[in-house]
Structure 1
Amino acid sequence: METELQSFIQDASYERSLSDNTLASYERDVRHFIRYAAESGIYTARDVKKHHMARYWLVLRQEGRKNASLSRYRVSLRAFFRYLMDKRLVDADPTSDMDAPKPDSPPPLIITAEQVEQLLAAPDRAESIGIRDTAILETLYATGIRVSELIALEVSDVHISLGFIRCAAGGKERIVPIGRSAQSAIETYLTSVRATLARSDSEEQALFLNRRGERLTRQGLWKIVKKYALAAGIEAELTPHSLRHSFAAHLLENGADIRAVQEMLGHAGLAATQKYVQLTKSRMKEVYERSHPRAR
């Protein structure tokens, strides 16, 4: 297949005007497959079948190739065999069933308990907006609710004396407990600030209002979190969802039952919550290696 590869690269260079980097990637990836095929007793492109590609795909995964690399191999091999199809050098395309792998997603950003404290202390409680923002940040971290759930909260969803809020966004409803710090922050906001933000002619029932007396938006919430992350000196790209991740991780680090955390997060299955268990294990190892005198 080496001869076909050189013809393919030449065609891609002159006919398709691809960049040098793309050509080098094509050549490297296809040559990797050619070596694999030869080790499997396959020496001509016509002899490559779909089951050979499926086996090769499995080998790449077993080697620990990341999804970004798998996507690149797929693109290179599909381009190669489509070229051979166009030139009538093969009768069928063995790569036609190769599914595109999902892109690698970065691990959730989890900030430390100390960073959480710095973030919660950042708003100026001498100002009305600072009191509101304190309540927002306390609620996010105390409950782990999603952005959509926080902005959908209405005043009637908060039950401070009973210590819980009701989330009903997206057609699903669940009860989430709130701690004393969040209860106090919400109560202060409700008794001293919300009425000053609300318009006199408005019947808006949203819990958190913007400066115009309207329901807080997603964009507004993101700006609030980023503003106080900067003020707290947190260099990581903090988002409202980072507080949800941190809520889950900190509960599990401190011994919370994973099914209770799953219920509080509103996860349909346990698998989505399991990722936090893996993260807390890796964090424990980091702490051990950094702190234990016999670990280094």
Structure 2
Amino acid sequence: MELERAVGTYLRHVALERGLSEHTVAAYRRDLDVYVEWLRARGIVDAEAVTPELVADFGAERASAEPPPAASSLARMQSSVRGLHRFLVREGRAETDPSGRLRPPKTPRRLPKALTIAQVDDLLDAAGPAPGSEDASAAQPASVRDRALLELLYATGARVSEIVQLDVDDVAQGDLLRVRGKGDKERVVPVGSYARAALDAYLTRVRPALAAKGRATPRLFLGVRGAPLSRQSTWLIIQAAAEGAGLTAHVSPHTLRHSFATHLLQGGADVRVVQELLGHASVATTQIYTHVSVDALRDVYATSHPRAR
């Protein structure tokens, strides 16, 4: 099977049948475009002509590139190549899998960085005044929206892609939020009173005016021209709030997700409950957050054990 056609078939499979997100599919496409171009430069245009030696050479060459690629990027590249060839064998479009000996690099296990509760408070206040505060009545529409956006990210631990895809109907169930996660899997997450108040202020005071500026859309969060708010715009909103709060560390939408999980576990939440709230397929993914709370464990030990000091 011709390589470019094989890649197209594989990407349609992961998008439609496996339900991977547009972001993930786009990353697979970039990786496989590099792979196909590398093979074409060596006269290989058909999937059946790819040998284990070629795949190994490709992996070695990518690993020794200058500047050196991040281990996570290299692992994803190799995963894309393995996924393609396994798919072709499984579908009967190739007889053998030449990527069987390709081994991904070991990626360093990095603990997620979380903000303190005080830093989260500062970040939210920098985005916009809290509903019911003295400054709330005079708040600019954008700041009302931004406060609701950040409150919801922190209250639910949702991914930024999940938040920008929310419709108004998804938040119409009082203190519950319906989230569509990876693989188009749905989960229900509670929404605390602070986020609910910020959402209500946005929905009553700001969203109707924003919606009138653009085409009709059910999306919850809108930009200044009435179009659905993008992931990139959300990043900029958070970065502006972080700068306004005087936070020197890098702050992203995922920082709020990390903070959500860490603060829950520090507060005594069961790791499996946090797994459900985050939408993790495996509890092993969630357990990395338990290591972030090692300082809290040390403090409890120091104050509780009779021979700790």
C-alpha distance in 1 between matches for 2:230 and 2:214: 20
Query: For 1:158-217, what per-residue CA distance to the aligned partner results, in whole angstroms no more than 9, with x for missing partners?
Result: 0353x0110124411000000000000000000000011113562111000011111111
1:261 aligns with 2:265: no
**Which ranges of structure 2 fall in alignment gaps of 5 or more residues?**
1-69, 75-100, 130-138
Within the candidate set 193, 202, 206, 2:206 is matched to 193
C-alpha distance in 2 between matches for 1:144 and 1:128: 24
Higher relative contact order (CA 8 A, sep 6+): 2
- Partner amino acid, structure 2, of 1:223: L
Shift of 1:123: 2.4
- Partner amino acid, structure 2, of 1:172: K
**Which ranges of structure 1 fall in alignment gaps of 5 or more residues?**
1-66, 72-96
1:102 aligns with 2:94: no
Match of 2:179 in 1: 167
Task: Map 1:199-278; keep pairs closer than 5 Å.
Answer: 199=212, 202-278=215-291
Secondary structure of 2:219's match?
Answer: coil
Aligned Cα root-mean-square deviation (Å):
2.8
Contact (CA 8 Å) 2:127, 2:150: kept in 1 or not? no
Q: 1:118 to 1:265 in 2, by over 3 A?
A: same
Shift of 1:244: 0.4
C-alpha distance in 2 between matches for 1:286 and 1:101: 36
Match of 2:195 in 1: 182
Secondary structure of 1:130's match?
Answer: helix
C-alpha distance in 1 between matches for 2:171 and 2:119: 26
Match of 2:21 in 1: none
Shift of 1:112: 0.3
Query: For 1:10-51, what per-residue CA distance to the aligned partner results, in whole angstroms no more than 9, with x for missing partners?
Result: xxxxxxxxxxxxxxxxxxxxxxxxxxxxxxxxxxxxxxxxxx
- Partner amino acid, structure 2, of 1:168: R
Tell me the TM-score normalized by structure 1.
Answer: 0.62
Query: For 1:118-145, what per-residue CA distance to the aligned partner results, in whole angstroms no more than 9, with x for missing partners?
Result: 0111124411000000000000000000
Deviates more, 1:115-124 or 1:131-140: 115-124
Within the candidate set 132, 138, 141, 2:151 is matched to 138
Secondary structure of 1:109's match?
Answer: coil
- Partner amino acid, structure 2, of 1:116: V
Q: 1:160 to 1:117 in 2, by over 3 A?
A: farther
Within the candidate set 84, 106, 124, 1:120 is matched to 124
C-alpha distance in 2 between matches for 1:114 and 1:231: 14
Identity %: 45
Query: For 1:85-117, what per-residue CA distance to the aligned partner results, in whole angstroms no more than 9, with x for missing partners?
Result: xxxxxxxxxxxx683423325321101000001
Match of 1:279 in 2: 292
C-alpha distance in 2 between matches for 1:174 and 1:259: 14
Within the candidate set 149, 164, 168, 1:151 is matched to 164
Contact (CA 8 Å) 1:118, 1:232: kept in 2 or not? yes
Contact (CA 8 Å) 1:110, 1:242: kept in 2 or not? yes
